[in-house]
Structure 1
Amino acid sequence: MSRYKLYTYSNLEEFNKFYKELEEKGERIFPFKFQETGLLLEENNNVIEITHLVAYLINNPSDILPALVNFNHLDKDDKVIIKEELLDEALEIFAPIFEGSSPIYSVEKEEGSLISNITPFERQSLYVYKNEKELTKIIEYLNMNKIPIVNFSSLNNEFNEKLSEYGYKESEVFIDITSLVLAMESNPHLIYLSEQYLSLTRSYRVIVLGNIANKALEYLRMFFDSIQEITKVIPLSLENEDTPNDTKQNDTVIKVTDLDEKGLEMLCKDISAKLFGHQKFKDRFITSIKNFNFLNKINQKKLFSIFLLGPSGLGKTEFAKLIKENLNSDASLIKINFGNYSSQDSLNSLIGSPRGYIGSEEGGELGSKLIKSKVGIILCDEFEKATLPIFNFFLELLEDGVFTDSLSREHDIDGYIIIFTSNLDAQGFYKNIPEELQSRLDLVCEFQPLTSKEKQDYIEYFVENFLGKINQQNFITEEINSIKSVPVDSDNIRDINRILTDRILEKLEGDNLLELQNVFQQ
């Protein structure tokens, strides 16, 4: 039996070009489907796309034989195409079928079509929404107008039967594929499986979160060819109708989940630049906070929790302050010192005493500070000193993202970052913090003292930052600059700050210091 060539395309642009050429002739490309592809190949002049099939078979080798069987009727007039990056794997899996390859545009096109007698098919547009708030408005509008909307995982025979039962047409149904596209990033074999469902639901309106729409086009290029705003199909204004006035904006809690892509990048860059040392932690944080931002927007994760270990003065609290400054520099940081929460009634101090008991009218320290602060970050200091009821409280809070204080006020902290700090080392953490709570934490890291290079970088940063505040007053800075080269015998950043401040003040003593004080008092 003679073997055939595989034809390759290098990218989505090339695939779209080829697809459009066929489409203009009233022809199309077929995705591979078990059983159906075998029947299709009984006719001549077919084009079959197998990129996602190969990705699927790499993870499911038991299905290779059934896939081979589907190519029994392949002949020289048929063309099988694949994305170039998976060519080697395809040639290995389908060695009995294919023996070589050729770029798709080196194929000499004979007169007449590659596919005969095929009904023209148009790929759909993907409709995008910006964030969870827009999605909520979309759902409200569709529900009000009794238009079905489902996520991809809800597509099954039972759903299709209900559509028929209630007289809905496919074109009236909206499908959100956001969670599907996210899953495809780590499980590429899902692309092939999803094609099987999408090929049966071509008339549905498909929506996706805007910042992953391009990935959806790449993964599902057989079905979608463009991106459109959701307002093209839903007559609903999705602009922010509640544009806050100055007074209302002052009452708004700003959370990391409120940041757009640019704001999140600025936060990560600021932490990278101003948190000295701890590079491994910073790399993990940047990846984790971006993942959390997305998962929160699709209602998959309520809170982001970090537990920082290590001796005092290594930057644990400074890290929390850096996030706070990027979110809302005018707001106060919610800080709870659990060194004061070691008594048996510590939980009452945190969220208020039961009604009728002393302290029940106050609502607890956490609730009171949440009401006053306008930034979505909570710092829990010396957390290893907390009691078991406190541990159990946070166990539930990290899961639910909401709690009720003694005044029956419900506090929803969806989108918040909670940072726990402790002077324990890693061994002490695993010994003293309950395992159940450990498993709820997103990021655990032990801060280490700065290296000599990192300490020197910090000293230069501190001095330059100080000079930046006084240079406008035309003070001579050479002597202050000389401080950078004087060694500091401490690993504690607070001690380093104090030592450097003392040295700078010594350089500015006398008339210079008095003049500087007068300038800043004016």
Structure 2
Amino acid sequence: MKHELLFFERDAFYEYKEQQLADGYEIESISKYLLDAGNNDIFANFDHTTHIIDITALAVGFYKEVQMLGEQIFEKFTNEDTIFIADKKHEEALRYDLRHCFINFSNIEIEPHDHKQGDHNQPNSKSITSKYKKITDLTDDELDVFFQKFRETLYGHEKFKDNFEELVKNFRVFNKLGEHKILSLFLMGESGVGKTEVARTLHKCFGGEKKLAKVNFGNYSSEFSLSSLIGSARGYIGSEDGEIFIRIRDTDVGVILIDEFEKSNATLFNYFLDVLESGKIISSLAEEIDLDGFIIVFTSNISKENFTNKISPELRSRFDYKGLFTLLYNQDKRKFVEFRVKSIIKKYNTEFENKLNENLFEYFLSQINVAKYNNMRDLNKKIKRVFVDYISIEYPEVQTDNGSFLKIARKLLGKY
């Protein structure tokens, strides 16, 4: 018999995985060994000092004879110190079916990142807070500050900002009542008018330190799109994590951007209908991530007329907000130029000794005719070109340890 089977809480799995990676362990699924059980080499080559086996696959309904299969497979792992883990959701079934395979059954204790082992007075307790910053967690005062920052950072679209504030206030009330899990926004309009910037601004206003969870559906038009999004069915080695699970796992803010939603297909439309109804995303392996309190921003380049043709009535009714984004006014474009120039100057001044004046944005405004630009991405490219030209002329001697200014400029300007 093996020594012990450890159970993890699903919400804490990825934190546990990160901690184990830091300790030199990699977690892999038992499915790899189940599918090649006759190959004794893979068991002989297994290193219990660097790998942990997740046996959740045994319990999700794909294998009928769990007890018999377990007794056969676990004896192939010859070292008694091999670490086995499983989703706590299946604890009752696995404790019984694998009673002849393990001596002990215990729960995994996750240590918070800012504590060392031994700091807790109660070793069996866990102290894990939500990893996501969400609109439902803000106090009323914090929400007021959030709205003010959102209005200042997102340029134009004043009517949308008004509607968004009202939506959020209603959402927070009904979310607390358990009647509204996800706040969903469907934004239509031409490319470059600021639809995706809504999600980026939300992420920024929350103070996100990790990347925004973004999935571009321009890559999801094939028949295998659902598998790419939520993971392939069990049996396909190495494809258990779908893109949306990876993106959400790697962010710290409860905001998801689904870009170019109209380029997908009916299968994914139906999947998101279920997501908005249940408040959860579910993988092909029946793993779940609770999106309670999240905001999902769907963007699309389709027209208002094509919206009703492309999106089913059931899904349309699930969107909390449906709006058409139009071109920004010149006044808003000038505010955008001021914001971008000040942002670039701030980055520049941290890299170079010769400091630039923040009021330099007035020079940029004199060099850029904002009326010529309807697409904000094109306007941003123009700002970058003018900035590089200005530095090249005014400060030709600028050099850094990393090479010429043009090289460092790529780092400063980045991708907007």
Q: Same fold (TM over 0.5)?
A: yes
The code of the aligned residue for 1:295 comes to F
CA distance in 1, matches of 2:249, 2:297: 18
Between the aligned residues of both structures, percent identity stands at: 37
Taking structure 1 as reference, are residues 507 and 260 closer, same or farther at Cα in structure 2, changes over 3 Å only? same
Taking structure 1 as reference, are residues 512 and 349 closer, same or farther at Cα in structure 2, changes over 3 Å only? same
1:501 counterpart = 2:380: no
Q: Which residue of 1 aligns with 2:355?
A: 475
Taking structure 1 as reference, are residues 303 and 481 closer, same or farther at Cα in structure 2, changes over 3 Å only? same
Alignment map for 1:305-384 (pairs within 5 Å): 305-356=184-235, 358=236, 361-384=239-262
Q: Which residue of 1 aligns with 2:181?
A: 302
Q: Which residue of 2 aligns with 1:485?
A: 366
Pairwise CA distance, 1:381: 0.7
Partner SS state of residue 246, structure 1 = coil
Larger mean Cα displacement after TM superposition, 378-387 or 293-302:
293-302
Pairwise CA distance, 1:262: 2.1
Pairwise CA distance, 1:457: 2.3
Pairwise CA distance, 1:452: 1.9
Pairwise CA distance, 1:266: 2.0
Q: Contact between 1:306 and 1:419, CA under 8 Å: does it hold in 2?
A: yes
The code of the aligned residue for 1:305 comes to S
Q: Which residue of 2 aligns with 1:246?
A: 114
Q: Which runs of 5+ in 2 are unaligned?
A: 1-109, 116-126, 409-416
Q: Contact between 1:398 and 1:440, CA under 8 Å: does it hold in 2?
A: yes
CA distance in 2, matches of 1:304, 1:482: 41
Q: Which residue of 1 aligns with 2:104?
A: none
Partner SS state of residue 384, structure 2 = helix
Please say which structure displays the higher CA radius of gyration. 1
Q: Which residue of 2 aligns with 1:259?
A: 138
Deviations 1:164-192 (A, max 9, x none): xxxxxxxxxxxxxxxxxxxxxxxxxxxxx
Q: Which residue of 1 aligns with 2:288?
A: 410
Taking structure 1 as reference, are residues 390 and 476 closer, same or farther at Cα in structure 2, changes over 3 Å only? closer
Taking structure 1 as reference, are residues 366 and 480 closer, same or farther at Cα in structure 2, changes over 3 Å only? closer
Alignment map for 1:36-435 (pairs within 5 Å): 246=114, 252-356=131-235, 358=236, 361-435=239-313
1:456 counterpart = 2:334: yes
Q: Contact between 1:342 and 1:387, CA under 8 Å: does it hold in 2?
A: yes
The code of the aligned residue for 2:227 comes to N
Aligned length: 279
Deviations 1:420-455 (A, max 9, x none): 001112112122111110000001111101112222
CA distance in 1, matches of 2:259, 2:232: 22
Q: Contact between 1:404 and 1:410, CA under 8 Å: does it hold in 2?
A: yes
The code of the aligned residue for 1:291 comes to N
CA distance in 2, matches of 1:260, 1:516: 47
The code of the aligned residue for 2:365 comes to K
Q: Which runs of 5+ in 1 are unaligned?
A: 1-241
The code of the aligned residue for 2:377 comes to R
CA distance in 2, matches of 1:361, 1:349: 8
CA distance in 1, matches of 2:268, 2:330: 39
The code of the aligned residue for 1:400 comes to S
Deviations 1:43-62 (A, max 9, x none): xxxxxxxxxxxxxxxxxxxx
CA distance in 2, matches of 1:267, 1:514: 42
Q: Which residue of 1 aligns with 2:35?
A: none
For normalisation by structure 1, the TM-score amounts to 0.49
Partner SS state of residue 398, structure 2 = helix
Pairwise CA distance, 1:355: 2.0
Partner SS state of residue 509, structure 1 = helix
Pairwise CA distance, 1:464: 3.1
The code of the aligned residue for 1:485 comes to S
Q: Runs (4+) of structure 1 moved beyond 6 Å?
A: 247-251
Pairwise CA distance, 1:470: 4.4
CA distance in 2, matches of 1:504, 1:360: 45
CA distance in 1, matches of 2:395, 2:401: 10
Pairwise CA distance, 1:300: 1.9
Q: Contact between 2:345 and 2:356, CA under 8 Å: does it hold in 1?
A: no
Pairwise CA distance, 1:459: 1.9
For normalisation by structure 2, the TM-score amounts to 0.61
Q: Contact between 2:208 and 2:252, CA under 8 Å: does it hold in 1?
A: no
Higher RCO structure, 1 or 2 (CA under 8 Å, sep 6+) = 2
Q: Contact between 1:328 and 1:374, CA under 8 Å: does it hold in 2?
A: no
CA distance in 2, matches of 1:307, 1:491: 21
